[in-house]
A and B are shown apart, each in its own frame.
Chain A
Amino acid sequence: MADLSINFAGIRSPNPFWLASAPPSNSGMQVHRAFEAGWGGAVWKTIGPPVLNVSNRYGAWHYGGQKMLAINNVELISDRPLEINLREIAEVKRAWPDRAVIASAMVESKPETWHDMIRRIQDTGADGIELNYGCPHGMSERGMGSAVGQVPEYCEQITGWVMEVAKIPVIVKLTPNISDIVMPARAAVAAGADALSLINTINSIIGVDLETLEITPNIGGKGGHGGYAGPAVKPIALNMLAALGKDSVVGGSRLPISGMGGISTWRDAAEFLLLGASSLQVCTAVMHYGFRIVEDLCDGLSNWMDEKGFAGISDVVSRSLYRVSDFNNFDLSFQAVARIDQQKCIRCNLCYVACNDAAHQCIDLIAKDGTVVEPQSYDIQSNGKEQAISTRPSVHVREEDCVGCRLCYNVCPVEDCIRMIEEPSGRPSITWGQLSESQRDVTEDWEKMKKYREKMGIDIH
């Protein structure tokens, strides 16, 4: 059995799954229940200055019958009094010494206010502090949250104030609402933070109600940008996570990163680990299904690690990070082509229409007699399941014309029906970076490019 326990910048927990700072970690009662369900830790819902909330608070994006592919919210930091939150943090930590209890905080940008808050958190016995530089709504308008996270200088300055008094690990939580995530991360490193976490929610408007023409969610006839989270944001989070790991300063600092943004299953969790996260935070999936999901997060991850021969979480962390690169370093001679398994194919022809309308026109419809046919080429008088099924053409890839774009693979509804086969191109390996260095004219002049293609036997139909 794989060992799921982690030591994250000195914060220990029996598994890497923490509740993210959000509605599920709003009270001691909730965190108690989460720990009973098996969560390894919890980042308390952000505590700070007094607030008042509005309703409605949550909007959601549903697609194709699937509820809540994403959620957005305009809920603020905890609207429960600071004293109560601090007391409950202390109670929970006393009751659960083996779990990670981390207080998330944001206050007005004054050194003495931050010092006071950090000291009060430390008095609770919490294991760590997460600085909320990410909240994109409500608090940012008051100069907190993402208003800090979006300006690396503020980020560095405030983290510096925190580090002056911090005796427990400090995690800086980053906002994705910035053009280069690396900048605020470097600022946190420069200020001496112990760890990073990302991503906070993304600025968004979830939609407009087509009946009332109101913004969703409707707040007394108005609505506005809120924080976007859930399964739909995972690819954005993975990219930002990898960007930190690949950066010489941030990656080089070896600060641990707590990953979050759309983690719903153990599979998502494993991907975050592989790209460099060493603790994992979850919110939307809990908001959808409750605390019970932690069971399969742990069970699935543990089974996968056993299958792969990974003894502990540290064996997984960053394991795929070295593969993350940029276009300049990709091998232009690597060639993959699509191949359709005719036994598995159910003849939905989605690959055909995708390739034909939106890609590179290299899938044919082949009739029973071997001829290429057009769609809808059946006799209008024919009908019935026998005729429809028996005369239906099959889909075939002209591999010599396939550019290996992988669109057909992506649209195919059948598992393992279309595979991308690596086909040796016969050309020596070369990257765009190498080409622009060794034969710059080829990369700048279409005529030269034409000649290069001819010479290399690159035919683009």
Chain B
Amino acid sequence: MTDIPQSAARTNALDELLPPLTRNEAAVEAARCLMCYDAPCTHACPTHIDIPKFIKKIATENLRGSARTILESNLLGATCARVCPVQELCEGACVLGAEHKPIAIGRLQRHAMDFVYDNRIEMFQPAKSTSHKVAIIGAGPAGLSCGGELAKRGHSVTLFEKRDLAGGLSTYGIISLREPIEVALAEVAMLEKLGVKLKSGKELGVDITFAELQTNFEAVFLGVGLGATPALGIPGEDHIIDGLEYIEQSKLAARNLAVGRDVVVVGAGNTAIDCATIAKRLGASQVTMVYRRTEKEMTAYPHEYDFIKREGVNFLFLTQPVQLHSENGTVRSLECLRMSLGPVDASGRPSPQPISGSEFLVMADQVVKAIGQQKPSLASQLKLKTEKGFIQVTADFETSLPGIYAGGDCIRARGAASTVMAVQDGKLAARSIHERLVARG
């Protein structure tokens, strides 16, 4: 093993975890699907892909038809095939789950999507061009889905993205092990071919004003996601690495990512698990996740928790960081307090209460925080009504400003934020926007 160059080993360490199904594996798995009527998997899918339909098309080797079935409900089918928490959605609802193994819906969807992207098939042609112009802010899953659906209907769509690359969290925030960056970028390219005009490096309020948008476009969709990771508010915070940046670097420049020997990850959500995975796979000898509540309250999906335990990551529950200790700019340890669970708080979970005098040191030379993201700041800038800090929208995804729509993580006041939910928001918002534009004539 020692003669493998570090960079090569690193690249391999984060290779996509699941190999693609072979043609025969896909055929066997597709044949196993019962083809339920009014299937629960389709109900469970937030975008309501007709799953038995696309699976049976795989069984009949109609891969083009299979892919079309998926994309008609979900333009980001290739991303969702990889990042969806299928155990909580389609596969979790599979009728074969109780006594057998559920159908591997995610992997079958990926099989159909790979066929489209490997063969460079252009599945959709835009409808006859209308004169209507729509601006989309943010090229994450919600914005891409909304933009694609509107472009399909013939509208002129301009997609403003503040970062260099489009794709949002699919590009920057999901570890390669689950979704290689190429998959997200291929989807962006597909939508550009469909007519979406991508303007990257353009931030609302910096490069383009809201007034300009209102003048030049008939409708605006905000798919701006959430803000930065909040501060822990402890001494030594400067040395703590933002989990999202950690993931981003692992995707864009893995060989330059500095990974410690003893890494502590603060938080126990899915992003925290991704950070721990990166650290473990890129050479840390010890990775410890620190969480102030217990495993019962953690927000990570159960299958992600199972995964990270198998990766050999340690857990410190009921533990809250209080100070980072460093020497000459080198992190030495994270001082923590033991906690106990108190009454239920606003999040509906028991609140962690510090046990005084229980301070202890966790040895660490790198500390990464993944404790959620801040609420969208754009809401206050634009004076939009909010709900629990998230942008408030109607059933039609319209904000408190007429003609300004929003979707994705920035409106997710209830329920778990996920890529597929954002895709559905974008799709439904596009329908509302389309109706609005058509009504205007």
Q: Which residues of A come within 8 Å of B, CB atoms?
A: 64-65, 346-350, 352-353, 365, 375-376, 378, 380, 382-385, 387-389, 391-392, 413
Q: Which of B46, B59, B89, B93 has the most CB of A within 10 A?
A: B93
Provide the residues of chain A in CB contact with B38, threshold 8 Å: 349, 352-353, 365, 375-376
Contact between chains at A346 and B96 (CB < 8 Å): yes
Minimum-distance CB pairs A-B, first 7: A385-B92, A65-B31, A388-B44, A353-B37, A375-B38, A388-B43, A349-B37
Contact between chains at B43 and A65 (CB < 8 Å): no
Known: A349-B39, A388-B40. 8 other contacts (CB 8 A): A65-B28, A65-B31, A346-B98, A346-B99, A349-B37, A352-B37, A352-B38, A383-B43
Q: How far is the CA of A346 from the CA of B46 in the complex (A)?
A: 22
Provide the residues of chain A in CB contact with B27, threshold 8 Å: 65
- Asked if B417 CB lies within 8 Å of chain A CBs, one says no
Provide the residues of chain B in CB contact with A389, threshold 8 Å: 40, 44, 93
Provide the residues of chain A in CB contact with B37, threshold 8 Å: 348-350, 352-353, 375
Question: With A64-B31, A350-B36 given, is the CB distance from A383 to B95 under 8 Å?
Answer: no
Q: Which of B4-42 contact A (CB under 8 A)?
A: 27-28, 31-32, 34-41
Q: B150: shortest Cβ distance to chain A, in Å?
A: 19
Provide the residues of chain A in CB contact with B35, threshold 8 Å: 350
Provide the residues of chain A in CB contact with B48, threshold 8 Å: 380, 383
Question: With A64-B59, A65-B28 given, is the CB distance from A388 to B41 under 8 Å?
Answer: yes
Contact between chains at A385 and B89 (CB < 8 Å): yes
Q: Which of B348-376 contact A (CB under 8 A)?
A: none
Q: How far is the CA of A369 from the CA of B119 in the complex (A)?
A: 49
Contact between chains at A384 and B31 (CB < 8 Å): no
Contact between chains at B95 and A348 (CB < 8 Å): yes
Contact between chains at B34 and A384 (CB < 8 Å): no
Provide the residues of chain B in CB contact with A387, threshold 8 Å: 43-44
Q: How far is the CA of A382 from the CA of B40 in the complex (A)?
A: 11
- Asked if B282 CB lies within 8 Å of chain A CBs, one says no
Q: B366: shortest Cβ distance to chain A, in Å?
A: 36
Provide the residues of chain B in CB contact with A65, threshold 8 Å: 27-28, 31-32, 59
- Asked if B263 CB lies within 8 Å of chain A CBs, one says no
Q: A64: shortest Cβ distance to chain B, in Å?
A: 5
How many residues of chain B have a CB within 8 Å of chain A? 29
- Asked if B88 CB lies within 8 Å of chain A CBs, one says yes
Provide the residues of chain B in CB contact with A365, threshold 8 Å: 38
Contact between chains at A384 and B41 (CB < 8 Å): no
**29 A-B residue contacts at CB 8 Å?**
A64-B31, A64-B59, A65-B27, A65-B59, A346-B96, A346-B98, A347-B95, A348-B36, A349-B39, A350-B34, A352-B37, A365-B38, A376-B38, A382-B43, A383-B89, A383-B424, A384-B44, A384-B89, A385-B44, A385-B87, A385-B89, A385-B92, A385-B93, A388-B40, A388-B43, A389-B40, A389-B44, A392-B43, A413-B34
How many pairs of residues, A versus B, come closer than 8 Å at their CB atoms? Answer: 72
Chain B residue with the shortest CB-CB distance to A353? B37
Q: How far is the CA of A382 from the CA of B46 in the complex (A)?
A: 7
Q: How far is the CA of A380 from the CA of B34 in the complex (A)?
A: 23
- Asked if B45 CB lies within 8 Å of chain A CBs, one says yes
Provide the residues of chain B in CB contact with A383, threshold 8 Å: 43-46, 48, 89, 421, 424
Provide the residues of chain B in CB contact with A376, threshold 8 Å: 38
Chain B residue with the shortest CB-CB distance to A349? B37
Q: How far is the CA of A391 from the CA of B44 in the complex (A)?
A: 11
Provide the residues of chain A in CB contact with B89, threshold 8 Å: 383-385
Identify whether the interface residues of A are mostly helix, strand, loop, or mixed.
loop
Contact between chains at B36 and A349 (CB < 8 Å): yes
Provide the residues of chain B in CB contact with A380, threshold 8 Å: 48
Provide the residues of chain B in CB contact with A382, threshold 8 Å: 43
Partner of A347, one of B31, B40, B99: B40
Q: How far is the CA of A384 from the CA of B35 in the complex (A)?
A: 19
Chain A residue with the shortest CB-CB distance to B38? A375
Q: How far is the CA of A376 from the CA of B35 in the complex (A)?
A: 15
Provide the residues of chain B in CB contact with A64, threshold 8 Å: 31, 59
Provide the residues of chain A in CB contact with B59, threshold 8 Å: 64-65
Q: How far is the CA of A64 from the CA of B36 in the complex (A)?
A: 15
Per-residue interface assignment for chain B, residues 410 to 436, with 1 indicating a CB less than 8 Å from any chain A CB and 0 otherwise: 000000000001001000000000000
Q: How far is the CA of A375 from the CA of B42 in the complex (A)?
A: 12
Provide the residues of chain B in CB contact with A391, threshold 8 Å: 43
Q: A343: shortest Cβ distance to chain B, in Å?
A: 12
Q: How far is the CA of A280 from the CA of B87 in the complex (A)?
A: 49
Q: How far is the CA of A348 from the CA of B39 in the complex (A)?
A: 7
Provide the residues of chain B in CB contact with A392, threshold 8 Å: 40, 43
Contact between chains at B88 and A385 (CB < 8 Å): yes
Q: How far is the CA of A382 from the CA of B45 in the complex (A)?
A: 9
Q: How far is the CA of A392 from the CA of B40 in the complex (A)?
A: 7
Q: How far is the CA of A255 from the CA of B99 in the complex (A)?
A: 49
Q: How far is the CA of A385 from the CA of B99 in the complex (A)?
A: 16
Chain A residue with the shortest CB-CB distance to B421? A383
Q: How far is the CA of A391 from the CA of B40 in the complex (A)?
A: 9
Q: Which of B43, B59, B424 has the most CB of A within 10 A?
A: B43
Q: A346: shortest Cβ distance to chain B, in Å?
A: 4
Q: How far is the CA of A375 from the CA of B36 in the complex (A)?
A: 12
Chain B residue with the shortest CB-CB distance to A210? B61
Q: Which of B303-333 contact A (CB under 8 A)?
A: none
Q: How far is the CA of A65 from the CA of B32 in the complex (A)?
A: 8
Chain A residue with the shortest CB-CB distance to B395? A381
Chain B residue with the shortest CB-CB distance to A66? B31
Q: A287: shortest Cβ distance to chain B, in Å?
A: 21
Chain A residue with the shortest CB-CB distance to B415? A384
Q: Which of B86-105 contact A (CB under 8 A)?
A: 87-89, 92-93, 95-96, 98-99
Q: How far is the CA of A392 from the CA of B44 in the complex (A)?
A: 11
Chain B residue with the shortest CB-CB distance to A352? B37
Q: A385: shortest Cβ distance to chain B, in Å?
A: 3
Q: Which of B71-97 contact A (CB under 8 A)?
A: 87-89, 92-93, 95-96
Q: How far is the CA of A72 from the CA of B301 in the complex (A)?
A: 52
Provide the residues of chain A in CB contact with B41, threshold 8 Å: 388
Q: A417: shortest Cβ distance to chain B, in Å?
A: 11
Provide the residues of chain B in CB contact with A385, threshold 8 Å: 40, 44, 87-89, 92-93
Contact between chains at A346 and B95 (CB < 8 Å): yes
Q: A415: shortest Cβ distance to chain B, in Å?
A: 10
Q: Which of B175-233 contact A (CB under 8 A)?
A: none
Q: How far is the CA of A348 from the CA of B46 in the complex (A)?
A: 20
Contact between chains at A388 and B93 (CB < 8 Å): yes
Q: How far is the CA of A348 from the CA of B102 in the complex (A)?
A: 13
Q: How far is the CA of A346 from the CA of B39 in the complex (A)?
A: 11
Q: How far is the CA of A51 from the CA of B328 in the complex (A)?
A: 93
Provide the residues of chain A in CB contact with B28, threshold 8 Å: 65
Contact between chains at B31 and A378 (CB < 8 Å): no
Q: How far is the CA of A384 from the CA of B98 in the complex (A)?
A: 16
Provide the residues of chain A in CB contact with B36, threshold 8 Å: 347-350
Q: Which of A350, A376, A382, A389 has the most CB of B within 10 A?
A: A389
Q: Which of A65, A350, A382, A385 has the most CB of B within 10 A?
A: A385
Q: B418: shortest Cβ distance to chain A, in Å?
A: 10
Provide the residues of chain A in CB contact with B39, threshold 8 Å: 348-349
Q: A7: shortest Cβ distance to chain B, in Å?
A: 44
Chain A residue with the shortest CB-CB distance to B87? A385
Q: How far is the CA of A65 from the CA of B27 in the complex (A)?
A: 7
Q: How far is the CA of A350 from the CA of B98 in the complex (A)?
A: 17
Q: How far is the CA of A413 from the CA of B34 in the complex (A)?
A: 8
Chain B residue with the shortest CB-CB distance to A376? B38
Partner of A378, one of B32, B43, B46, B421: B43
Chain A residue with the shortest CB-CB distance to B99? A346
Q: How far is the CA of A49 from the CA of B44 in the complex (A)?
A: 66
